[in-house]
Amino acid sequence: MRLRLSREVIKDDLVRRVEDLSGQNIAMCYQCGRCSAGCPVVDEMDILPSEVIRLLQLGQIEEVLDSKTIWICASCLQCASRCPRGVEFSSICDALRAIVLRRRIATPSVDAGDVSRVMVTDAPQMGVVGALRKLNG
Amino acid sequence: MKIPYYPGCTLHERALDFDKASRECANVLGVELEELPIWTCCGAVFPLTTDSVMEILAAVRNLAYAARMGDKVVTLCSFCYNVLKRTNKVMREDEERREKVNLFLRADTETRDKTESFLKKDYVGQVDVLHYIEMLRDVVGFDEMAKRVKTRLEGLRVAPYYGCMLLRPHGEMKFDEHPEQPTIFEEFLTALGCDVVDFPMKTECCGGFQIVRDEETAIACSQTVVSSAVKRDADLIITTCPLCLYNLDRKQKEMEKRVNGFRKIPVIYFTQLLGIALGIDDEHLDFSDNYVDPRPALAEKNLV
């Protein structure tokens, strides 16, 4: 993949917005990969957590907003508990989803109408409420 | 002794077995869990975005209700505990959000005052949020609890599953000394006479709310946890979270189909196990919702 880098691209406003919303300093990450190694749902992701952060460091926000990864994060914060630089990847994911959901630039990955009847009548409601709040906005 | 108690939606509707056993155990231990007279859903997940105000309002209302009853509130569900505790920190430390949220609360007070007497003053984090297990350790005391045990659970191999929400983020939750090697449930189980089974997946995620988006992802997570405990010959797993129990227990039905030679293991709430040790009546110990019935494993050790 070819990246076109420039000062403007790297200082992308939307990336700064991610930092504001997540409360995380993206430049702190030095790419050790412990977040990706410890993530319990990493197998399902198309871009690794550490790669998402690297792309953000390089201003490649569009690629990140299009990824499956941001919808797969379960907010378990294992990444944060193992990060030697104090970066919470789950919070970055929340910020990225917030940008997508607030700007309505993609369909939410969980739609209230699609939640199965089994799930609604059988699962603890905390799961349904949690999924809708996290993944539908 | 009375302590304000916030059950949360799931314990009020689906996890009645958890609520029932916990209240009865508290009674036996001399604590009355006094349910908040008015409460709502806490929101289930804490918003990780720093500009969230509306998203924490429900949790603050519940904390404010609790503040009218005392200086602490006890809860059982891991999600509720995480949301209430993290929201409380926002109200204590984030001046801007505290002010905004209190504007909403004041509006509530003005409109609802006559009917509910909502809140007389601002909420600034007056209440301490305690998990039930912390109440057992710090208010009742594990030693005192051990003295009330009627049947020591000798020989029962129990794997304590912590999951995510009690422990992380460690800096805020401060639930145990180490986020990867917590020991509070080990101390609890030792006080009941159990053999504690240490297993490496005790702090891994069960898949959580992802079960709603994609069952496969969550089942894969849960199966890792379940198999890790089975591999170490545990007789059962204990948990504090209704969603963990759903993923770990109910989804064993799916794991059986997917994994050759899969060995089932019962998963129960920690207060149900406590109830057995304290000898509470069967009417307070309901296992009818469990997919894997824990009674055969308990009967083998002459515990039921």
Distance in angstroms (rounded) separating the CA atoms of residues A110 and A118: 15
Same domain assignment for residues A19 and A60: yes
**What is the number of structural domains in chain A?**
2
- Is the pLDDT assigned to residue B117 strictly greater than 70? no
Residue pLDDT, tens place only, A39-91:
999 999 999 999 999 999 999 999 999 999 999 999 999 999 999 999 999 99
With an 8 Å Cβ cutoff, are A40 and B224 in contact?
yes
Spans of all domains in chain B: 2-130, 151-300
Same domain assignment for residues A102 and A114: no
Average pLDDT over residues B216-244: 97
Higher pLDDT, B117 or B240: B240
CB atoms within 10 A of CB B300: 12
Residue pairs spanning A and B at CB distance below 8 A: 141
Quick check: helix, strand or coil at residue A136? coil
- Is the pLDDT assigned to residue B217 strictly greater than 60? yes
B residues 65-84 closer than 8 Å to A (CB) = 77, 79-80
Q: State the burial class of residue B70 (Cβ atoms within 10 Å of its Cβ: 0-12, 13-18, 19+).
A: middle
Same domain assignment for residues A31 and A57: yes
Supply B63's token pair. Answer: 């904390």
Q: Is residue A1 part of a domain?
A: no
* Closest chain A C-alpha to B123 CA, distance in angstroms: 24
State the DSSP code for A25.
-
Q: For all residues of chain B together, what is the average pLDDT?
A: 95
pLDDT category, B248, cuts 50, 70, 90? very high
Pick from A60, A52, A63: nearest CA to A89: A52
Distance in angstroms (rounded) separating the CA atoms of residues B141 and B155: 23
Q: For all residues of chain A together, what is the average pLDDT?
A: 93
Pick from B106, B29, B108, B109: nearest CA to B74: B29
pLDDT category, A1, cuts 50, 70, 90? low
- Is the pLDDT assigned to residue B14 strictly greater than 70? yes
- CATH code of the domain containing A78: 1.10.1060
The region that residue A33 occupies, defined by phi over 0 for left and psi between -120 and 50 for alpha, beta otherwise, is: left
Contacts of B212 in chain A (CB under 8 A): 110, 115, 119, 123, 127-128, 130-132
Q: Is residue A97 part of a domain?
A: yes
Q: With an 8 Å Cβ cutoff, is B210 touching chain A?
A: yes
Pick from A52, A75, A38: nearest CA to B243: A75
With an 8 Å Cβ cutoff, are A109 and B44 in contact?
no
* Closest chain A C-alpha to B45 CA, distance in angstroms: 5
What's the confidence (pLDDT) of residue B304? Answer: 84
With an 8 Å Cβ cutoff, are A40 and B13 in contact?
no
Mutate to test the interface with A, among B49, B75, B267 (most CBs of A within 10 A): B49
Residues spanned by the domain of A125: 110-137
Supply B283's token pair. Answer: 């009417």
What's the confidence (pLDDT) of residue B118? Answer: 58
Residue pLDDT, tens place only, B63-99:
999 998 999 999 999 999 999 999 999 999 999 999 9
CATH 3.40.50.720 fits B151-300, yes or no: no
The region that residue B163 occupies, defined by phi over 0 for left and psi between -120 and 50 for alpha, beta otherwise, is: left
8 A C-beta contact, residue B57 and residue B123: no
Average pLDDT over residues B133-141: 98
Distance in angstroms (rounded) separating the CA atoms of residues B201 and B248: 12
Q: Is residue A2 part of a domain?
A: no
Instruction: Report the range out of A12-16, A34-38, B110-114 with the highest average pLDDT.
Output: A34-38
What's the confidence (pLDDT) of residue B116? Answer: 52
Here the ipTM equals 0.94
pTM for this predicted structure: 0.96
Same domain assignment for residues A127 and A97: no
The region that residue A104 occupies, defined by phi over 0 for left and psi between -120 and 50 for alpha, beta otherwise, is: left
Average pLDDT over residues B152-163: 97
Q: Is residue A86 part of a domain?
A: yes
Point out the residue among B15, B80, B208 whose CB comes nearest to the CB of A74. Answer: B208
pLDDT category, B115, cuts 50, 70, 90? very low
With an 8 Å Cβ cutoff, are A72 and B217 in contact?
yes
What's the confidence (pLDDT) of residue B113? Answer: 53
Percentage of chain B exceeding pLDDT 90: 91
Judge whether B2-130 and B151-300 match in fold. Answer: no
Same domain assignment for residues A14 and A75: yes
Same domain assignment for residues A45 and A31: yes
Contacts of A101 in chain B (CB under 8 A): none
Distance in angstroms (rounded) separating the CA atoms of residues A39 and B150: 42
Residue pLDDT, tens place only, B271-290:
999 999 999 999 999 999 99
Average pLDDT over residues A125-130: 94
Same domain assignment for residues A99 and A38: yes
Contacts of B203 in chain A (CB under 8 A): 78
With an 8 Å Cβ cutoff, are B213 and A109 in contact?
yes
Same domain assignment for residues A120 and A60: no
Same domain assignment for residues A102 and A115: no
Same domain assignment for residues A88 and A27: yes
Instruction: Domain B2-130: state its class.
Output: mainly alpha
Can you tell me which residue has the tokens 């569900």?
A: B77
Same domain assignment for residues A76 and A120: no
Task: Find the helix packing angle between B270-278 and B16-28, rounded to 10°.
Answer: 40
8 A C-beta contact, residue B273 and residue B153: yes
Same domain assignment for residues A85 and A118: no
Q: Is residue A46 part of a domain?
A: yes
8 A C-beta contact, residue B278 and residue B148: yes
pLDDT category, B235, cuts 50, 70, 90? very high
